[in-house]
Structure 1
Amino acid sequence: MIKITMFSQADKVAGQGVGSAYIELIKLLKDRFSDKFDIQINKYGRSDLSHYHTINPQYYLSTFSRKRGRKIGYVHFLPETLEGSIKLPKPIRNIFYWYVISFYKRMDQIVVVNPTFIPKLVDHGLDESKIKYIPNFVSTENFYEKTTDEKAEIRKKLNIPADKFVVFGDGQVQERKGIDDFYKLAQDNPDIEFIWAGGFSFGRITDGYDRYKAMLENAPDNMKFPGIVDRNDLVNYYNICDLFLLPSYDELFPMSVLEAFSCGAPVLLRNLELYQAIIDGYYQPAKDRDEMNDFINKAKNDPSILKDFKKKSKEASTQYSEDNLSKIWYQFYTDQYKIYKQDK
């Protein structure tokens, strides 16, 4: 068996896509390859492969040990993608940004969740031949479309009328996620229910924390903020929405979009370059809030428009399914093990 040690604190902070991706991968490997891979979590014994999901300082120090075997780094963010997420004094920020790239350079192999990150990592000085793209995925066991009766019951529990048009968004409350546009759309459409699931995963160092906290506390009547929702309950929100909206200005490969696809929810996104590289054709693109508003009202007045997008969501869900990604991860780890044995 191949000994693989996962190093991660991704699941320690609720409401982060990194944690969701990590949980999905661990479950997939243990469910499907328990006879092929010996998976350990945060153990410092000898390993064939060490897969770093987060960049904690103790993990950085561990990379200098020969016990780690071949070191694999998972890139969920770059320094520039943290802008608009956390607020740090400039000297601390510069040190942290240097540390992030230094951590990645300690790896023998890098995995990115979006191919648009490859040239950016090369610009930071990493070897392109050591970078591989493997997309995120979600479990259809946890995220799936419920029956019409089940959806009606969920709406009833949430006090949402059966005929109310619902727009749902999910993510940390921060500028990068486009929460300002989501909020303004709710103000401009009082006849539509807007729900945003998410909170301040970074606490008070969240960029704009005081402003967003006040904004949430004074939300219009047609906007709900249930806070950070447990992943087991998130499936309900995807199922009762008429439209999933993520107005982010910057993303990698958002788990929330994959979760929405898996539940059959039509998806509306700001048309970012990175989306065009991975999910083009599966969502309704919008260049700004005005285009988002136009599509929301068009869909509300003509629900038949959304039928095609439900179909597209299901197609996307199949492409980024556990079955497809399990084959890719199995081949990846076995290939990495072969390289490790050759280099010993």
Structure 2
Amino acid sequence: MPIKVNMFSSASKVKGQGVGSAYEELIRLLKTHFPKQIDVSINKFTKADISHYHTIDPNFYLSTFSKKRGIKVGYVHFLPETIEGSLNIPQPFRSIFYKYIISFYKRMDHIVVVNPTFIDKLVAYGISRDIITYIPNFVRKNEFYRFTEVNRDAVRERLEVNNRFTVLGIGQVQERKGVKDFIKLAENNPDKYFIWAGGFSFGRLTDGYADLKQVVDNPPHNLKFTGIVDRNTLVEYYNAADLFLLPSYNELFPMSVLEAFSCGVPVMLRDLELYHSIIKGYYIPTQDYEDMNTQLKLVSEDKERLNKFKQLSDEASEEYSEDHLADIWLDFYSSLTK
């Protein structure tokens, strides 16, 4: 008998954010690799062996009190502290929301985190370490891959990159993502071209919306804000870029970094501690804006260094491949039903 897994998620309703991408990738992986071993249903309140919660909707919270839910699994993509700099929620609603998040997680029989550094943080909130499992995100090689030189040149021409050294950033336009540093880099490197693929997924609720909206509407001449880009089109932007830069101040396990690795694009990141246990050594680490600016100039003028990080991206993409993670997910679900 297949394991009945009911997925609960509203992540796909909000475009341009990584939770939805990770959710859709997992659904497709299970249906592709294990059509006979795992019976996947979505947002159905029928009886299941496992109920896997990807988002924390109030109706999902209420469903956790039903015995039909079987083993309840929570997929932790964020904590209260990771929302700071993303959403501008006034008090007292912010405190109430943060308490609700933890209350939701405490309703779970098991927790999956996408970054091991969050295990200790969940334990500090009163969740038992014994019920927490680390399973990283992954991306498809047949969706995010390196183009041939001919196809890459064609994409760069269509996107009006031409011969300029091109830096790509991807994600929601918000304070937490370090977009202001990205803008400053564009202003101080007029010989280079900068693209930020992403928009205001949460509209005016976005932290720093007013200031960022002004720049998005009137960017420097060498910076393009694309708005929210369809996931199927992102591979073109990765391949048009010479360097992928994510200057975020806080992350869990950004899908965009894995996508860049999968396309063989050199990656530069603000060197957050949470990256150290998952991808340290595969990217160009920077501490602040000045360091980013220095490293950008170095890598744009040193082809050998750039090629080194291309190779490291290829190596990283193998570690977070679909086939490898498929086995991990099957083992995880199977262990819960024994």
> What range is the shorter-chain TM-score in?
over 0.9
Residue matched to 1:333: 333
- 3-state SS in 2 of match to 1:167: strand
Q: How does 1:137-156 map to 2 (within 5 A)?
A: 137-156=138-157
Residue matched to 1:341: none
2:18 counterpart letter in structure 1: G
Q: How does 1:274-313 map to 2 (within 5 A)?
A: 274-313=274-313
Shift of 1:240: 1.1
Residue matched to 1:66: 67
Residue matched to 1:48: 49
Residue matched to 2:190: 190
Residue matched to 2:113: 112
1:325 counterpart letter in structure 2: L
Shift of 1:7: 0.2
2:123 counterpart letter in structure 1: V
Shift of 1:298: 1.1
Distance 1:206 1:300 in 2: 32
Distance 1:44 1:15 in 2: 27
Distance 1:250 1:12 in 2: 23
Shift of 1:160: 1.6
Residue matched to 1:132: 133
1:318 counterpart letter in structure 2: E
Identity of aligned residues (%): 61
Distance 2:285 2:300 in 1: 17
Contact 2:171 2:177 in 1 (8 A): yes
Count, aligned residues: 337
Task: Show structure 1 runs of 4+ deviating over 4 A.
Answer: none
Residue matched to 1:180: 180
Q: How does 1:191-340 map to 2 (within 5 A)?
A: 191-338=191-338
- 3-state SS in 1 of match to 2:151: helix
Q: TM-score, normalised by structure 1?
A: 0.97
1:292 counterpart letter in structure 2: M
Residue matched to 1:342: none
* Cα shift readout 1:201-254 (whole Å, capped 9, x = no counterpart): 111111111111001112101000011111111001111100000000000000
Shift of 1:90: 1.0
Distance 1:69 1:8 in 2: 17
Shift of 1:199: 0.6
Distance 1:89 1:11 in 2: 25
Q: TM-score, normalised by structure 2?
A: 0.99
Distance 1:189 1:195 in 2: 13
* Cα shift readout 1:157-197 (whole Å, capped 9, x = no counterpart): 11221x21000000100110000000000000001000000
Contact 2:161 2:240 in 1 (8 A): no
Distance 1:317 1:300 in 2: 23
* Cα shift readout 1:97-142 (whole Å, capped 9, x = no counterpart): 0000000000000000000000100110100100000000001111
- 3-state SS in 2 of match to 1:90: coil
2:92 counterpart letter in structure 1: P
Residue matched to 1:14: 15
Distance 2:281 2:142 in 1: 25
2:58 counterpart letter in structure 1: P
Shift of 1:86: 0.6
TM-align CA RMSD: 0.6
Shift of 1:21: 0.4
Residue matched to 2:166: 166
Distance 1:309 1:144 in 2: 16
Distance 2:180 2:321 in 1: 32
Shift of 1:277: 1.1
2:27 counterpart letter in structure 1: I
1:222 counterpart letter in structure 2: N
- 3-state SS in 1 of match to 2:51: strand
* Cα shift readout 1:6-28 (whole Å, capped 9, x = no counterpart): 00011111110000100110110
Contact 2:172 2:201 in 1 (8 A): yes
Distance 1:89 1:294 in 2: 38
Contact 2:8 2:54 in 1 (8 A): yes
**Runs of 5+ unmatched residues, structure 2:** none
Distance 1:87 1:191 in 2: 35
* Cα shift readout 1:37-79 (whole Å, capped 9, x = no counterpart): 1100000100000000000000000000000000000000001
Distance 1:31 1:46 in 2: 23
- 3-state SS in 2 of match to 1:278: coil
Distance 1:240 1:86 in 2: 31
- 3-state SS in 2 of match to 1:238: helix
Q: Which one is further off, 303-312 or 103-112?
A: 303-312
1:178 counterpart letter in structure 2: G
1:337 counterpart letter in structure 2: T
Distance 1:129 1:325 in 2: 21
Distance 1:217 1:206 in 2: 16
Distance 1:215 1:11 in 2: 27
